[in-house]
Structure 1
Amino acid sequence: MWSAALIITAFLAISILHWIYKWRNPKCNGVLPPGSMGLPLLGETLQFFAPNSSSDIQPFIKERIRRYGPIFRTSLVGRPLIVTADPDFSHYVFQQEGELFQSWYPDTFTEIFGKQNVGSLHGFMYKYLKGMVLNLFGPESLKNMLPEVEMAARRHLKMWSEQDSVEMKDSSATMIFDLTAKKLISHDPEKSSENLRENFVAFIKGLISFPINIPGTAYHKCLQGRKKAMKMLKHMLEERRVTPNKLQRDFFDYVLEDLQRKDTVLTEAIALDLMFVLLFASFETTSLAITYAIKILADHPHVLKELTDEHDAILSRRKNMDDGLTWKEYKSMKFTIQFINETARLANIVPGVFRKALKDIKFKGHTIPAGWAVMVCPPAVHLNPSAYKDPLVFNPRRWEEMEQKGASKNFMAFGGGMRFCVGTDFTKVQMAVFLHCLVTKYRFLLVKGGDIVRTPGLQFPNGVHIKISDK
């Protein structure tokens, strides 16, 4: 009896050791990039999510670049992964969308954003949805939106100037969410009985968190926030079916028209997932960028002066000082766009962009096996001293030279390739208009907060509180 128990124990031990060996030494028809797979199932997930307060490359990435080079393997949330901090390979991944790679996100992200979210769709369906979004947020539409964006910025700045202080992340998020929700679904928070944005706030708090779906965890609250927001969006869509919007066309109008076509490829589930992602992406990323920009301006008075000089010059060229911004004036904001690019480069709001290899791929002596995920790491590219002199120094003027050289391979704050962010122009317009309204009419002073934490996404744990006053 004892011998049988020993045999079974030995068999189990050998099986476990064999499983661990296979986990740490994955099969590959070639040479895998160097690296470690970490613990079985867990991988190196805990190290990846460990918070840090540096503006430099995330310690998890930086240490592995030092140890293994700019292309290495790891495992996150149970998934084998290739991480690239190599500008050439990162650019190659984006350019080979649909051929060698396709958009992919971990199962936890799919659960959060919806199984049919735009990031998980490919080919014709993705191009179709991208076209729908550009109808609302493409350059031509933005020309018409410019007065709305300026009006929203002026209204909120006036309101904030009457307060003792204002926390920029939350306040700018409210400003942008209200504007975007109005444009997308004609949502007016002052007239609505339900607070749509409140559900997105619960969603955001658990977005970059360890994926444990147990009541009380941030991840569970995130999923509950999504569920409530999706329920509200579905209810709004049903209301629009019954009572069409006669004042202005919005995204719901495009969706309902398309759903009624016999040959449509759109479904209500895809449309609602797209709506959710658009609302989230439009206000969360832009409000983080604006908040980071305010922190930078508070820390760099000479940059604030140069920015103010550019916008004061725009006003001085007007015949009527009370006129609103024109598209021509927006396009003349050379230093402002350089400032926005430099803000996006150093803020590194998106810590990783995921793709999946469609076949075995060889690059610089390494093989990326078919089916493996690849994470492009924009911060590592943006903070590469070979591409950016003194990469941790905030220097908008570096973009004069970068623009001449063409910076796409070394700048991917808005993605790249076929999936270059369709909201890029909208984000830049919102930031430029907000900065114009701020520096021409107001002064501001940082009164509290300003610390940053990355987990690995950008956060402001104690906020960025400023006092705004009339000039």
Structure 2
Amino acid sequence: MEQWWWYLWFSIISLFGASLGNWIHRWRNPKCNGKLPPGSMGLPLIGETLSFFVTSNSIDIHPFVAQRMKRYGSLFKTSLAGRPVVVSLDPDFNYFVLQQEDKLVELYYMDSLAKLVHQDDMKNIGGDFHKYFRRVILSHFGHEPLKHKLLSQFEDVINHELQDWSKLPQVDLKHQTASMLFNTASKILMSCVPEENLGHDLSDILQGLMTFPVYFPGTAFYKCLKKKEKALKLTSGVLEERMNLYPTDKGDLLEKMVGDMGKEAGLTKQFVSHALFGLLIATIETIAPTITLAAKYLLDNPSALQHLTEEHERIVKKREDAKSGVSWDDYKSMTFTHYVINETLMLGNFLPGIFRRTIADIPVNGYTIPKGWVLLIIPAVLHLDPNTYEDPLAFNPWRWKNIERNTMAKKFIPFGGGNRACAGAEFSRVLVAVFLHVWFSKFRLTKIKGGDVARAPLLMFKNVFYVKVSEK
């Protein structure tokens, strides 16, 4: 009898071991109608996620990418948060595939980001609906509203903010900028300034996503989703109020979307609330760190500081009325300012990556990226390539004087590429340029302490960047 039980347990353990071994083998060797790119799938389920999220004390290419690029080249496979992924570092292939939206690839969010933006709703952003949504954004954030309305609004807001900051002994630049942007974006989107400013909460929300998606009290991911709930309560409340008052004479983005509910498929209350939330995050999480990083580099670079000062003083002197505000022609003439913005975007790499999911097998360089896999494009690899940008980690705005347009199309993609490129790219550039104009024409910023940067894999400030603001 005892021998029978021993054989039974031996058989069960052997079967379990064989099944486990077979599962691990299949995990490490996924099916493919061709040859998979080189690389490792890491540990079962976890993959190489922990290495991807580790903090690097440098603004350089994240070690996760740099080490694999050295080992495998410009294309390699991995697994992140349980998903099979191919990472592409090839600028020509990246440029090609980003033009193949809804043909070879589709929009995709990592599981953590999907929970933030509510991926079920975001699936609607394809085809005609994506065109509609992009058109609505551009009608309120694009070239024409920037030129005729928003430019002067930005100047007024920034001038008022910097005057308030000048009364303080020191300013947490990223925090205060995020608060300013929250109010500015809220006015444009919803024609209101909420009683509670959520700028600081939203300014670090993406950093919480760059962790393993474990929803458990105390984890960064848990705190991130709690901040989301708080912000969604705000946007949902504003939406309900507007729907009860509709129509109004606000003329803002919310008014347009409320009017189109019931006309555009997929334009639900839930989608509109999440869209407002997403646009607030997009404004704060891109522009606040850009302004902060630009200030850090400029205050550490006397030559660039002097060059920028001279440019903006020259713009003011050329005006017929010295008290008149910044014009669109002024903005277009800010040559060195645009160089500074490009340099900051290149070094900052505020996007950790551009995610797409393949909807067909994609052959590339003798390999095959299988249908259903995640394709990850890392802008930092393009931006910090010494073969394109000499001494790329050095702050050198003058380099942009000689960089060709074709190079920028394929090897400078801070706002993504293809028809999914960020619709708010020009909005971001204009706002940063106006901030620099107000700073250099009317104020002085003096560094007090902090501002050290790291990457995890998002750019992060390891310590608070404090400055002193004073009027000229």
Report the TM-score when normalising by structure 2: 0.95
Gaps of 5+ in 2: none
Question: In the TM superposition, what are the counterparts of 1:47-446 in structure 2 within 5 Å?
Answer: 47-116=51-120, 118=122, 121-143=125-147, 144-189=149-194, 192=195, 194-197=196-199, 200=202, 203-204=205-206, 206-244=208-246, 246=248, 248-259=250-261, 261=263, 265-446=266-447
1:279, CA displacement in angstroms?
A: 0.8
1:54, CA displacement in angstroms?
A: 0.9
Q: 1:277-299 CA deviation, whole Å, 9 max, x = no partner? A: 10110112100100000011011
What is the rounded CA distance, in whole Å, between the counterparts of 1:291 and 1:94 in structure 2?
Answer: 30
What is the rounded CA distance, in whole Å, between the counterparts of 1:198 and 1:442 in structure 2?
Answer: 24
Instruction: Find the residue that maps to 1:151 and give its secondary structure.
Output: helix
Q: 1:196 to 1:339 in 2, by over 3 A?
A: closer
What is the rounded CA distance, in whole Å, between the counterparts of 1:288 and 1:120 in structure 2?
Answer: 30
What is the rounded CA distance, in whole Å, between the counterparts of 2:348 and 2:356 in structure 1?
Answer: 22
**The 10-residue stretch of structure 1 (19-28 or 461-470) with the greater mean CA deviation from structure 2:** 461-470
Q: 1:412-458 CA deviation, whole Å, 9 max, x = no partner? A: 10100111110001000100000000011122211110111211111
Instruction: Find the residue that maps to 2:397 and give its secondary structure.
Output: coil
1:470, CA displacement in angstroms?
A: 2.0
**The 10-residue stretch of structure 1 (38-47 or 406-415) with the greater mean CA deviation from structure 2:** 406-415
**The 10-residue stretch of structure 1 (229-238 or 434-443) with the greater mean CA deviation from structure 2:** 229-238
Q: 1:49 to 1:136 in 2, by over 3 A?
A: same
What is the rounded CA distance, in whole Å, between the counterparts of 2:290 and 2:67 in structure 1?
Answer: 27
Instruction: Find the residue that maps to 1:397 and give its secondary structure.
Output: helix
The one-letter amino acid paired with 1:421 is C
Corresponding position of 1:39: 43
1:303, CA displacement in angstroms?
A: 0.8
Instruction: Find the residue that maps to 1:56 and give its secondary structure.
Output: coil
1:198, CA displacement in angstroms?
A: 6.0
Report the TM-score when normalising by structure 1: 0.96
CA contact (8 A) 1:116 1:269 kept: no
CA contact (8 A) 1:259 1:267 kept: yes
1:142, CA displacement in angstroms?
A: 0.7
1:339, CA displacement in angstroms?
A: 1.1
Q: 1:145-173 CA deviation, whole Å, 9 max, x = no partner? A: 11110001101111111111101110111
**The 10-residue stretch of structure 1 (385-394 or 158-167) with the greater mean CA deviation from structure 2:** 385-394
Identity percentage of aligned residues: 42
Q: 1:303-323 CA deviation, whole Å, 9 max, x = no partner? A: 111111111110110121111
Q: 1:112 to 1:437 in 2, by over 3 A?
A: same
Q: 1:119 to 1:177 in 2, by over 3 A?
A: farther
Q: 1:346-377 CA deviation, whole Å, 9 max, x = no partner? A: 00111111001111111111110011100000
Q: 1:190-237 CA deviation, whole Å, 9 max, x = no partner? A: xx3x44446535745523222110112111111122122212211111
CA contact (8 A) 2:59 2:459 kept: no
CA contact (8 A) 1:48 1:456 kept: yes
CA contact (8 A) 2:87 2:375 kept: yes
What is the rounded CA distance, in whole Å, between the counterparts of 2:63 and 2:324 in structure 1?
Answer: 49
Instruction: Find the residue that maps to 1:266 and give its secondary structure.
Output: coil
RMSD: 1.7
Gaps of 5+ in 1: none
Corresponding position of 1:9: 13
